[in-house]
Amino acid sequence: MLKLPILSGKEVIKALSKLGFKHIRTKGSHAILNKQDKEKGKITVPVPLHPELAKGTLKSIMNQAGISLEELLELK
């Protein structure tokens, strides 16, 4: 079992951009990313722009985006 890495908000945004997510806007310290999916419809994922994301926050972002830890590590 792989451990969750320590990633910054910018690193997560880069990885999600490779999956087709687009940066829509920034509100405060959160970047809002969006992707249009044929099956699920519109997927919106807020990403905090912190130097280190908490493990629970990273896990929540992965669940919202519908990606696994292995996919995230490949895109990183």
For residue 36, give the CATH number of its domain.
3.30.920.30
Q: What is the pLDDT of residue 1?
A: 65
Number of domains the chain contains? 1
- For the cut 90, the answer to whether the pLDDT of residue 39 exceeds it is no
What are the residue ranges of helices labelled H in the chain? 9-18, 55-65, 69-75
In a domain, 4, yes or no: no
Domain that holds residue 49: 9-75
Cα dist from 31 to 35, 39, 48, 70, whole Å:
13, 24, 6, 23
pLDDT per position as a tens digit, 1-22: 678 999 999 999 999 999 999 9
Q: What is the pLDDT of residue 40?
A: 84
How confident is the prediction for the chain on average, in pLDDT?
94
